[in-house]
Structure 1
Amino acid sequence: MPATLLPGNAPQFWQGSTTGMVGLARIDGVAWLFMGDGKLVQPIPDGNHGKQTTVEDFPRAMRQTALRVTATQSRFTLQGGGVELSVNFLSPLEPGDSRRQSIPMSYVSVSARSIDGAAHAVQVYMEITGDWASGDATQEVVVERDDSQAARTWTLALAKPQLLVEQHEFAAWGRVLWSTPARDGVSMQAGDRLKLRAQFAGHGSLDGSNGAARRTIKALPALALVVDLGQCGASAKDADFAVGQVREQCIAYLEQPLRALWTKHFGDWKAMLDFFHGDAASARQRADALDVRVSRDARAVGGEHYEGLCALSLRQAYGGTELVLGPDGSPWAFLKEISSDGNVSTVDVLYPAAPVWMYLDPDYLRMLLLPLLHYAEQGGWPKSYAEHDLGSAYPQATGHNDGKEEDMPVEESGDMLIMVAAWLRRAARADAQAFASRHYALLKKWAQYLEGELPDPGFQNQTDDFAGSIAHSVNLALKGIIALAAMGQVAGFAGHADDATHYRDRARKDIAYWAARAKDPKAPHLNLTYHDAGGQGTWGTLYNGFADTLLDTGLIPADVRTMQAAWYRQQSNTFGLPLQVPHSYAKSDWALFVAAWLADQPVAQELIDRVYAYADGTPDRVPFCDLYNTVTGARVAFQARPVQGGIFAPLAVRSMPKPVA
């Protein structure tokens, strides 16, 4: 939602189109708006140009008194008519529990209690509109009531679905579920939103009819649910709702449709939905515990500002992924490169996102790596280095067997080796050994490619492709060198002692070359490119130092770390550290990578504080943007991307066990 005020503001899909949701509370016979852009037909006492009615904003809204955002929940508190409402939006993340993680649903909970000492009759109305089905308002939608044993449910689907196709970033297949648990006092109705709201305002209930069986999205058909809470006193009474979109098939991997992981655990979507409703109380307890954990850990690292950044980032990181059944029936996860290229499982998007799973949910990182490894091993990828992605347009993971893609050879190969090594460090010893052995031939092939390109990579594209390709890059070279050391750790897990020694020694040799050529001969900083290749007087953000700390490879000299920390303090603007000369823009994920690398330096907290200042003060109302102007705080590009998982880089470092000799 592009606002912090619940009444009068409509939720949006990440790309900016409205996904209407309206909430009304009827208190002692008087209707109040508490959520959304709720308009109503109002009478005109003496007529107006011959009209007896007019469509106006809702005449009475509850007053919002608080908003609390945690890692998994957004809770609004409102008051009116002697009643306090708490409206809570919960997206369960469930680290380590892939069964629950596979359920593509969220909770909306409304609780009411008296705050004036008197009992009040309260009914709660919640509505979604047809624009939840697509961003294309010309599409027709089908609305059906489809109850299950434990739930009363409206379904919303396109009249002409297209399997495994996107329209305006929406899935053009599947169905939206809008549901509440079966209980006394529940009523439903679908149809004209203005009539439904008037029906509720006048009667406190709905009549069960479906007047929106087939409408265009432009007509904004409404799907409404009402829960009568009865008389509310000092103890809160709850009305629970669930919303989500279910698709049995999610991804086309090399032309093979892959089923959603939830289909393995539940017979159909009704069984899944009934379980989800029944699990609500326990889910809230687990979410509360997870919020406490993230808050405590973040405060210990970077104080209140870091806690806030983690709260903003966690749901966004997971929200760019989904769980499926791989070709062999094991759980896989795919990632969408939201708001930039729309690619499937882009390696250099997964890499900046990965710290959140390194810290909180290592097995989720493993599931995200599996499709990338499988494709390179068995899918027909023709090159000696790691692929950039699994397909140009989500959800079509068609691969690039013709070799035509946005190559980033050192970047992607280094990313994969570092992420695999990080997961091995977080896994059980036996699982790590088996994984390293299973994929050893491929990982060694990528390491051999890096050996041929290092210590001075040629002219290559890299993850910050908006800044252009670069030759002799100090930052890119560092990633490749650390990746060779990471390969040494992989070799250790796989039982190849000679290779482990070889890659450690090669990394140490290359870092000596790097250190001699990366430093500017006339200024106290590293250059953007090697100085003997024309880089003198330039500089950039050395975010690839993060992996050296993460994997405890100990390659970057201590004096280089101290020098860079001091330099960055001098170069920072109000809203952060510029990514590289001559630009003033920054990447929030990379800034936190640097804070993790330089955690023992004063600049680390300053980087956190400046990214927080941007997130708190930016004039742009979009989901957490990662590329922004450090002078103005304005968005430059991108929004809602899972790369904000990189905010968790300092916590990833703290959670990483020491390497086993």
Structure 2
Amino acid sequence: MKSLFTTMLAIGLFCQSQAADLFTPVQKTELRAPSVPLITSDPYLSIWSPYDKLNEGSTEHWTGTEHPLIGAVRVDGKVYRFMGKQTLEAILPMVEDEIWEGNYTFQQPAGNWTDIEYNANGWKAGKAAFGSSDRSMIGTPWKSEPDIWVRREFNLNEDLSNRPAYLKYSHDDVFELYLNGERLVATDYCWRDNVLLELTAETKKKLRKGKNVIAAHCHNTTGGAYVDFGLFVPNNQTTAFENLAIQKSVSVLPTQTYYTFACGPVELNVVFTAPLMLDDLDLISTPVNYISYQVRSIDKKQHDVQVYIETTPQLAVNKPIQPTIAKVIRRNGLSYIQAGTIDQPVTAHKGDLICIDWGYAYIAGNMNATTAVSLGDYNEMKSTFASSGKLLPSKGEIVTRQAKLMPAMAYTDNLGMVSATGKSGFMMVGYDDIYSIEYMYQRRMAYWKHDGKVSIFDAFERAKENYESIMQRCRAYDAMILNDAEQAGGRKYAELCALAYRQVIAAHKLFKDEKGNLLFFSKENNSNGCVNTVDLTYPSAPLFLIYNPDLQKAMMTSIFEYSASGRWNKPFPAHDLGTYPIANGQVYGGDMPLEEGGNMVILTAAIAKAEGNANYAKRYWDLLTIWTDYLAEYGQNPENQLCTDDFAGHWAHNTNLSVKAIMGVAAYSEMARMLGMNDVADRYATTAKKMAVKWEEMAREGDHYRLAFDRENTWSQKYNMVWDKMWNLNLFPGVAEKEIKYYLTKQNAYGLPLDNRKTYSKSDWIMWTAAMASDQATFEKFIDPIYKYANETISRVPMNDWHYTDTGTWVGFKARSVIGGYWIKVLMDKMQEK
């Protein structure tokens, strides 16, 4: 169903946009995205460009693993690459292509250990990669030691001064990389795979014929450990693709990303569309995206133009070494290339920072006189296109067992002679995961399949037939989302929401259980890989409460059902249901009683407020009562419990956690009143009010309120208090105003710290805190630093929610759904309009 908040605005915007140019954004955006969303559908089909320019480097899965898309146009015989970067040839291969040997030590080396002539006697010889047992292709175990130093000596016979050259490296965690003594890489706490660094002309001068050395140092902070690196150059066959199109603009809107390029005498527009409109469950669950293109002459002459777009079977593997099979399929007016692993371990591979290795990736294009797809040799494909404007004659099927032999899956459109009026077209990228989730020991298909009645080919054919209408609907939807956000919080706030939109939805998978319940499971990206984590559901809720509360319920129903089944019998909700994609029950090592209890009760009330009835709450009233009674009994002054913000350590007597418990009790009262249970409502409302009065007395410290009741000279964000303002309960009169005033004295360049212990913060919680401001001008004082962070950070990852507010670098947590919390101000305004 559509949310009750849906207005006639969407209808009006749709009508206005019917004749709109599909290649011009309904609103241009100025925010420089840390990473730009391109293909986004779910946690596995998720491709981004972590660069200012689309052709600056390889496109990536949100994990940082290369998921290559290459795009080029050929204009009068000259090729201009507008997207991605082609695979390189190895001078020094990495372990996925060849196991190499180097010297290593776990002890701090003396002397200039990065120099060419350094004497490494006493170091051990070991095979790459160097790492912990949770990583694949480990040649040398790196277990409990915090640091490793590695030297890789090599002889170079060719002169690279006039040829592009690249260092490629993977690491986990803090990493330094040196070439002949010069430090070229120095990271903070992060883990990345296959990062590409082009050597400058000055750096290449340090290379010499004969002996050279690449040296690395890596510090493992926690969890897995890994080191691998190599040296690469472009293939001579693909030099034509080194010529770059000039990027003129990029705008990131909620469902679409728009690029414009100058390609010699023509202008190229490219639009990436993920039709993730929350009022259409089939569309948001169908794993098919569009890449649209338009070329027009800008010099008053006609030009002969061909478009080229390519990927590889790497979209369908977790590790490049996995054997793959790819083939060409033609049916019902569409040409496809399908690729997947030979083994097909369906839902067998669980965890964080992994890619899918079952199911099949597809590219698809119209079967007509101008378009074609081809499967063939990676380098020859580009060479043939560069020389002739055509693709290599296609192989019917290709099996590969080495990463370097993966074929090109290529699409082309011969636009012919192009004038100022321009010509356009589109192709599609999709993924059929066969089964998406294992839920309570049963494999479940994605919602769009309707229990196997719809095939991936049906989905592509429907996307083709409905292309024009879907593109227009996306434009209208983008306009609605941007308008709602700008009215609520200003232009910068709207652009942050636009960047966040696809990321939030694509961190989920939609399906139904055997009873027909709609389920919408998040993956806890880049934090531990849990599935359907309750304290991710809580911050992400505002987006779904506004635009489709059914999806909010779909995140919560399974948690209710898990408790109702008897498999979870504690007086508070579970933290999670497993490790994605296996959802058979909680796997998290510790409970979060007040955290998750408060989250579930508050969100159930939020659904009731959004829908104007408490029917959903009534369905699980017994559980809500048990959980609320726990909040009332233990929430006034919490013991040393886990909560969602324990990054700096666990503190008992947490005042913000107490606020959550109090709001949970109040939320239960609100739902009881909606159900006509006035005596119950009065009783719990009285309890919540008494708890709030006592909270204010215990937490007060001069001009602000403490982080913990028993800790003097402390402070923290009390973002859980946002519901008090939203629902006009007035449990904490004057508290939010006092806190907001105090917070403004504690802001850093890139935002408000989470509390007094560290300089880092969570951008979703800053949004919640800001929403408690009494006016928009004050709200924007909190938004401006978050915008500045996104616009300036050197941490080029899909929007992360945990960053240092002084340095503008990330701590962790990229591509997570929690930034659905950015919509809290829109939700508040919509709620208070009712």
TM range (shorter): over 0.9
Q: CA deviation at 1:16?
A: 0.6
* Pair 1:17-2:65 in alignment: yes
CA contact (8 A) 1:66 1:78 kept: yes
Once the two structures are TM-superposed, the CA of residue 87 in structure 1 deviates from its matched residue by 0.8
CA spacing shift, 1:170–1:451, aligned 2, 3 Å: same
1:600 aligns with 2:775: yes
Q: Work out whether 1:625 is the aligned partner of 2:810.
A: no
Partner residue in 1 for 2:729: 553
CA distance in 2, matches of 1:39, 1:422: 49
Letter in 2 for 1:367: A
- Indicate whether 1:153 and 2:336 are aligned: yes
Counterpart-to-counterpart distance in 1, 2:600 and 2:240: 53
Counterpart check, 1:72 vs 2:255: yes
Asked if structure 1 preserves the Cα contact closer than 8 Å seen for 2:293 and 2:425, the reply is: yes
The answer for the alignment partner of 1:423 in structure 2 is: 607
SS state at 1:466 partner: coil
Is the Cα contact below 8 Å between 2:313 and 2:361 reproduced in 1? no
Are 2:759 and 1:584 equivalent residues in the alignment? Answer: yes
1:228 alignment partner in structure 2? 414
* Counterpart in the other structure of 1:437: 618
Distance 1:649 1:612 in 2: 16
Residue 181 of structure 2 aligns with which residue? Answer: none
- Do the aligned partners of 1:126 and 1:226 also contact (CA within 8 Å) in 2? yes
CA contact (8 A) 1:28 1:122 kept: yes
Deviations 1:219-269 (A, max 9, x none): 332100111122222223222111122123111111111121111185211
AA in 2 matched with 1:219: L
Q: Amino acid of the residue matched to residue 301 of structure 2?
A: A
The number of residue pairs the alignment matches comes to 641
- Secondary structure of 1:234's counterpart equals coil
1:529 to 691, 708, 719: 708
- What is the TM-score of this pair, normalised by structure 1? 0.93
**Aligned counterpart, 2:573:** 386
**As a proportion of its length, which structure holds more helix?**
1
- Shift of the alpha carbon at 1:383? 0.6
Tell me the alpha carbon deviations over residues 186-217 of structure 1, each in whole angstroms, 9 at most, x when there is no partner.
Answer: 22211222100111112222244227611133
Q: Is the 8 A contact 1:189 1:209 kept in 2?
A: yes
Structure 2 distance, partners of 1:240, 1:40, is 28
1:575 is paired with a residue whose SS is coil
Q: Secondary structure at the match of 1:294?
A: helix
Q: Distance in 2 between matches of 1:388 and 1:376?
A: 12
Secondary structure, aligned partner of 1:447 = helix
Cα distance change of structure 1 residues 485 and 13 upon mapping to structure 2, 3 Å threshold: same
Hey, what's the Cα distance between the residues in 1 that align with 2:460 and 2:237?
39
User: What is residue 83 of structure 1 aligned with on the other side?
Assistant: 266
Higher RCO, Cα 8 Å, sep 6+: 2
Determine if contact 1:124/1:239 at 8 Å carries over to the other structure: no
What CA distance in whole angstroms lies between the structure 1 residues aligned with 2:454 and 2:699? 58
Alignment deviations for residues 142-188 of structure 1 (CA, whole Å, 9 cap, x no partner): 10112231321111101112111237511221111111123321222
Q: Extract unaligned runs of 5+ from structure 1.
A: none
Shift of 1:468: 2.4
Q: 1:30 aligns with which of 73, 78, 82?
A: 78
2:188 alignment counterpart = none
Secondary structure of 1:169's counterpart equals coil
Letter in 1 for 2:320: A
- What is the Cα deviation at residue 55 of structure 1? 5.7
Deviates more, 1:546-555 or 1:11-20: 546-555
Q: CA shift at 1:363, angstroms? A: 2.0
Larger deviation, residues 263-272 vs 352-361: 263-272
> One-letter code of the match for 1:535?
R
Q: Equivalent residue of 1:410, what SS? A: helix
- Corresponding residue of 1:371: 558
| 2:497 is aligned with 1:281 | no
Matched, 1:518 2:699: yes
Partner of 2:121: none
Report whether the alignment pairs 1:303 with 2:460.
Answer: no
- Percent identity reads 32
TM-score using structure 2 length: 0.74
SS in 1 for 2:384: helix
Q: Could you tell which deviates more after superposition, 506-515 or 294-303?
A: 294-303
Identify which range, 471-480 or 167-176, moves more after superposition: 167-176
Contact 1:131 1:137 in 2 (8 A): yes
Whole-Å separation in 2 of the counterparts to 1:54 and 1:188: 20
Moved more, 230-239 or 305-314: 230-239
For 2:309, the equivalent position in structure 1 comes to 126
- The alignment partner of 1:58 has SS state of helix
On the 8 A contact 1:27/1:123 being kept in 2, the answer is yes
Tell whether the 8 Å contact from 1:436 to 1:491 is kept in structure 2 after alignment: no
**Native 8 Å contact 2:237 2:383 kept in 1:** no
**Equivalent of residue 293 in structure 1, options 471, 480, 483:** 480
Pair 268,54 (structure 1): closer, same or farther in 2 beyond 3 Å: closer
Structure 1 495/227 Cα, relative in aligned 2: closer, same or farther at 3 Å? same
Q: Which residue pairs with 1:408 in the alignment?
A: 592
Give SS of 1:399's match: coil
Farther-moved stretch of structure 1 (546-555 vs 574-583)? 546-555
Structure 1 residue 486, shift from structure 2 partner: 0.6
Q: RMSD between aligned alpha carbons?
A: 2.3
Which aligned pairs between 1:33-112 and structure 2 lie closer than 5 A? 33-38=81-86, 56=239, 58-112=241-295
The corresponding residue for 1:651 is: 826
Query: Do the aligned residues in 2 keep the contact of 1:461 with 1:468 (CA within 8 Å)?
Result: no
Contact kept, 8 Å, 1:436 with 1:493, in 2: the verdict is: no
CA displacement, residues 70-126 of structure 1 (integer Å, 9 cap, x when unaligned): 112111101123211101111111121112222012111111111121222211111
- Candidates 789, 797, 822, aligned match of 1:614: 789
8 Å Cα contact 1:102/1:261 also seen in 2:
yes
Give how far 1:496 is off.
Answer: 2.2
The question of 1:194 aligning with 2:379 is answered yes
Partner SS, residue 106 of structure 1: strand
Unaligned 5+ residue runs, structure 2? 1-48, 90-158, 164-208, 210-234
Distance 1:657 1:137 in 2: 52
CA shift, 1:449, in A, is: 1.2
Choose from 400, 403, 427 the match for 1:241. 427
Distance 2:393 2:629 in 1: 66
Shift of 1:469: 2.1
Whole-Å separation in 2 of the counterparts to 1:142 and 1:490? 55
Is residue 229–residue 237 contact of structure 1 (8 Å, CA) maintained in 2? yes
Structure 1 residues 201 and 470 mapped into 2: Cα distance closer, same or farther (>3 Å)?
same
2:403 aligned residue (190, 193, 217): 217
Q: 2 CA distance for matches of 1:448 and 1:224?
A: 60
How far 1:8 moved relative to its partner? 3.6
Three-state SS of the structure 2 residue aligned to 1:170 is: coil
Q: Which residue, out of 296, 319, 327, partners 2:514?
A: 327
Counterpart-to-counterpart distance in 2, 1:81 and 1:57: 14
- 2:322 corresponding residue in structure 1: 139
Q: Give, as a single letter, the amino acid of the residue that structure 2 aligns with 1:529.
A: A
SS of 2:339's equivalent? strand
Distance across 2 between alignment mates of 1:615 and 1:144: 41
